[in-house]
């Protein structure tokens, strides 16, 4: 059942509409549990689109196995997806920095408040992101350490490679996930792939995990593939590589490669002079779970993250 959950009139003959597809058994008992799949907060992150499609397809073809409510929100920022804009067009702030929103605020804040209202009461929410256009990410779940105790058991069911329990930056309090967790909707943030692209393998991997989680919640009784056991890590085990020079990054490793401390990861080169401006070495040993996709870098641009050890 497709519903228009939020509508805001735009100036000329159009509405901003946030839609939800509710999948539920033909007959309801009244005590069904509800899981929400949300994505498209950032208009340049598309991995969630394929996940929503796959999940819709599987559930609708196997409706006899559905014993709860699955709400699919493919586009929390439809104008952004439509215009290949990360944020909300005509609004300066990142949509994932304005939650829980404000019904008396600017349009984006009004929409954010409406999203929270519609999601409140859900038993679980999966918030799917796909990095940005700059970085490729290993399929992972990110959990604020304040919520780790409660969320880790659910996160382990989601068939992701990695669970990153990160420290609680105050600014993250303005995210959708934080706001939902605060009002009692357990919410897991998934990051995978790279912006503006869809990796079907990643999508299938997450859908398997969502079905596994749904099964554990009593929402799904259909077949579920075996899921992997994720690596769980805290900030102390993540090493960062940032560009020390501005130029073009040329990688000498692949995403998910294992490197040893001192190995060459790549170089920053100058197209104008032919110089190698900076040879980049791994600051620690481990697996490259984040790798830069977009070659133009300024000083400071993130090149890679290594799971294994921190840099002192």
* β-sheet bridge partners, residue 281: 264
CA dist 2 and 298 (Å) reads 44
Cβ proximity to other proteins, 29 vs 104, nearer residue: 104
CA dist 255 and 266 (Å) reads 12
Question: For residues 241-260, which are near other proteins according to CB under 8 A?
Answer: 242, 245-248
Question: For residues 93-112, which are near other proteins according to CB under 8 A?
Answer: 93, 97-98, 104-107, 110
* β-sheet bridge partners, residue 291: 136, 304
Among 23, 180, 297, 304, binds other proteins (CB under 8 A): 297
Cβ proximity to other proteins, 10 vs 264, nearer residue: 10
In the complex, what is the shortest distance from the CB of residue 224 to other proteins, in angstroms, rounded to a whole number? 37
* β-sheet bridge partners, residue 137: 193, 290
DSSP state of 220: B
Output the CA torsion 83→89→90→94 (10° steps). -160
In the complex, what is the shortest distance from the CB of residue 76 to other proteins, in angstroms, rounded to a whole number? 17
In the complex, what is the shortest distance from the CB of residue 217 to other proteins, in angstroms, rounded to a whole number? 30
In the complex, what is the shortest distance from the CB of residue 215 to other proteins, in angstroms, rounded to a whole number? 35
Among 148, 174, 196, 198, binds other proteins (CB under 8 A): 174
Q: How far is CA 257 from CA 42, 113, 121, 248, 264, in A?
A: 28, 42, 41, 21, 12
In the complex, what is the shortest distance from the CB of residue 138 to other proteins, in angstroms, rounded to a whole number? 19
Q: Which H or E element spans position 264?
A: strand 264-269
Stretch that binds other proteins, among 155-163, 168-176, 184-192, 205-213 (CB under 8 A): 168-176
CA dist 258 and 275 (Å) reads 27
Binding flag, residue 273, other proteins (CB under 8 A): no
Cβ proximity to other proteins, 12 vs 149, nearer residue: 12
Cβ proximity to other proteins, 57 vs 102, nearer residue: 102
Of 125, 311, 306, whose CA–CA distance to 233 is shortest?
306
Omega of the bond leading into 100 within 30 degrees of 0 (cis): yes
- Convert residues 1-40 into a mask of x (bound to other proteins by CB under 8 A) and - (unbound): -------xxxxxx-xx------------------------
Size of the site for other proteins (CB under 8 A): 42
CA dist 187 and 95 (Å) reads 17
How remote is the C-alpha of 163 from its chain's centroid?
Answer: 12
In the complex, what is the shortest distance from the CB of residue 92 to other proteins, in angstroms, rounded to a whole number? 6
Binding flag, residue 173, other proteins (CB under 8 A): yes
Burial of 140 (C-beta count, 10 Å sphere; 0-12/13-18/19+): buried
Burial of 28 (C-beta count, 10 Å sphere; 0-12/13-18/19+): exposed
In the complex, what is the shortest distance from the CB of residue 234 to other proteins, in angstroms, rounded to a whole number? 19
Question: For residues 125-164, which are near other proteins according to CB under 8 A?
Answer: 132, 134
Residue numbers at the binding site for other proteins (CB under 8 A): 8-13, 15-16, 86-87, 90, 92-93, 97-98, 104-107, 110, 132, 134, 170-174, 240, 242, 245-248, 270-271, 296-302
């Amino acid at each position: 059942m497709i519903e228009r959950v939020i509508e805001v009139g735009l100036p000329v003959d159009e509405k901003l509409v946030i839609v939800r597809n509710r999948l539920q058994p033909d007959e309801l008992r009244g005590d069904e549990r509800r899981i929400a799949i949300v994505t498209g907060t950032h208009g340049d992150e598309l991995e969630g689109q394929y996940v929503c499609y796959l999940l819709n397809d599987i559930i609708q073809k196997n409706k006899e196995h559905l014993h709860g409510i699955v709400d699919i929100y493919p586009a929390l920022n439809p104008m952004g997806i439509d215009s290949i804009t990360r944020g909300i067009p005509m609004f300066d702030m990142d949509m994932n920095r304005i939650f829980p929103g404000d019904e008396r605020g600017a349009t984006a804040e009004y929409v954010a408040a409406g999203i929270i209202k519609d999601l409140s009461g859900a038993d679980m929410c999966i918030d799917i992101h796909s990095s940005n256009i700059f970085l490729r990410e290993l399929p992972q779940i990110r959990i604020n350490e304040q919520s780790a105790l409660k969320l880790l058991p659910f996160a382990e069911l989601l068939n992701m490679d990695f669970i990153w329990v990160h420290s609680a930056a105050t600014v993250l309090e303005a995210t959708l996930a934080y706001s939902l967790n605060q009002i009692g909707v357990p919410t897991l943030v998934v990051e995978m792939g790279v912006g503006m692209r869809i990796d079907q393998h990643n999508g299938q991997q997450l859908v398997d995990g969502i079905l596994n989680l749904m099964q554990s919640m009593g929402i799904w009784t259909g077949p579920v593939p075996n899921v992997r056991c994720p690596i769980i890590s805290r900030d102390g085990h993540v090493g960062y590589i940032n560009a020390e020079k501005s130029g073009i990054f040329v990688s000498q490793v692949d995403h998910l490669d294992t490197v040893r401390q001192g190995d060459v990861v790549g170089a920053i080169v100058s197209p104008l002079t032919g110089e190698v401006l900076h040879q980049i070495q791994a600051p620690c040993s481990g697996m490259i779970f984040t790798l830069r996709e977009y070659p133009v870098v300024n000083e400071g641009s993130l090149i890679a993250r290594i799971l294994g050890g921190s840099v002192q």
